Amino acid sequence: MTAAIKHGFVEVNGNTLHVAEQGEGPLVLLLHGFPESWYSWRHQFGPLAAAGYRVVAPDQRGYARSEQPEDVGAYTLPHLVGDVIGLIHALGEERAVVVGHDWGAPVAWTTALFRPDVVRAVVGLSVPPTPPAAMSPPSVTREVYGEGFYQVYFQRPGVADAELARDLPATFRRVLASGSGDRPGAAAPRPWVIPDGATLMDTIPEPERLPGWLTAADIDAFVSDYARHGDRAFTGPLNWYRNLQRNSELLTAFQGRSIDVPALYVVGDRDMVTSLRGMDRLLPSLGDLMPRLHRTLTLPGCGHWTQQERPDEVNTALLRFLDRLPDLD
């Protein structure tokens, strides 16, 4: 029988990262997104560990139980990729399969781009890889979506931080329910746009009930982890968005490079990411960015929280992909 999930802390690049771990075998590293934590992978640990893999999910830099650097500039993609490489080596491994969801997906894709010698294979859920020169800094998203677009709104120091930290249970209920594939209301998915004079939370209503895939105990788990940072619970996570301009500049040198390791992409057809400008052109061309793309899997009726909403389908896709990798033994 596979042992239960165990928790610990690892020093990586001068920061303390919390990690959850289960199983033995080839390393599979699971990277969460915003606003989540290791707990967003709760449905993946058991099946992957039972199949013979060592499954590790960190709270990424600035999130949940992990350390939150003060410097806003400490949250660039090169920093985050450095954490992934440092964590793999701190765990005593030389290589790993890296899986990311939401913000974790760009970290996974970029780690595979930078270090194909370390990344055996890469999986992205929700967010596809974007060519480095096509990464949209706030100056561009402001022109396309307006001042109220959530990524632009997040640039204002302290504003979204205070809103999201004010009532943690309400924040997680609202944010997670609003991105769910079975949310009521709008037929088509769309990103958050905050009207002039409104706040972020004004645009995210309190759900009448939680989606079927989300329980009150799940909300409590996220709240417990984030509460450790007090009124700065969301400052670290929001600082990832505050480096979009830097990321665009730092990754320009990699324009034209492809991701040359085996890859899998999974997305829900009700994920707001699919409604972003240019996705109708990007998604059909993923094979150009990833010559070893195994598959693009679209989950009908699934929203943004891919592995939480559709754990069985995601686990099946992950295991089939892993089974096809020749060097995982």
- What does the radius of gyration of the chain's CA atoms come to, in whole angstroms? 18
**Order of strands, sheet of 293-299, starting from the edge strand that comes earlier in the sequence:** 6-12, 15-22, 54-58, 27-31, 96-101, 119-125, 263-268, 293-299
Listed residue (132, 207, 150, 212) closest to 173, CA to CA: 207
Is 89 one of the catalytic residues? no
Q: Which long-range contacts (CB under 8 A, 24 or more apart) does 156-162 make?
A: 157/242, 160/200, 160/234, 160/238, 161/231, 161/232, 161/234, 161/235, 161/238, 162/231
Catalytic residue among 32, 79, 101, 304: 304
DSSP per residue over 175-229, as a string? HHHHTSTT-SS-SS----BPPTT--TGGGSPPPSS--TT--HHHHHHHHHHHGGG
Catalytic residue among 59, 83, 102, 271: 102
Tally Cβ neighbours within 10 Å of residue 117.
Answer: 10
Is 102 one of the catalytic residues? yes
Which residue numbers are catalytic?
A: 102, 304
